[in-house]
Amino acid sequence: MIEPNLESLRTFLHLLAAAVWVGGQIVLGGLVPRVRKTNPEALKAIANGFARVAWPAFGVTVITGMWNILDIDVSAMDSSYHVTLGIKIVVVMLAGFAAAAHANTKSKLVLALGGAIGLLASLAALYLGVLLSSAS
């Protein structure tokens, strides 16, 4: 058996938290239209329940992402790695800001845009992470 180490633990935590954050958004995207039609008063409770799990997961993803950066010799990476990493950082920030706007508004427009941008930015960050992991 391959011996577990701190790097494998960090990667596991990062992927688990990203799966909760992104996967939860996808699941909610599928549930919300149906719940809105059948039991609209339940939406707030569902959103609050998701937030109790999703925001800590987002925090773990950000912390382990910073840990990843500190553990990799980025000076040995070429400029395309740095550009991709910079884009990923911006996209993660966009995902967080959009999701926060979505969670803290009464505006239907901000609710819709925040949710859509938050999910798309989260998916983009996930893909950029795959690109970065294949280069390191």
Neighbours of 107 (CB within 10 A): 10
Average pLDDT, the chain: 95
pLDDT of amino acid 76 = 85
Q: Is the pLDDT of residue 74 over 70?
A: yes
Residue 129 predicted with pLDDT over 70: yes
pLDDT tens by residue, 100-117: 999 999 999 999 999 999
Tokens of 34: 């149906």
The DSSP string of 49-84 is HHHHHHHHHHHHHHHHHHHHHHHS-GGGS-HHHHHH
CB-count burial class (<10 Å; 0-12, 13-18, 19+) for 54: buried
Tokens of 87: 């884009």
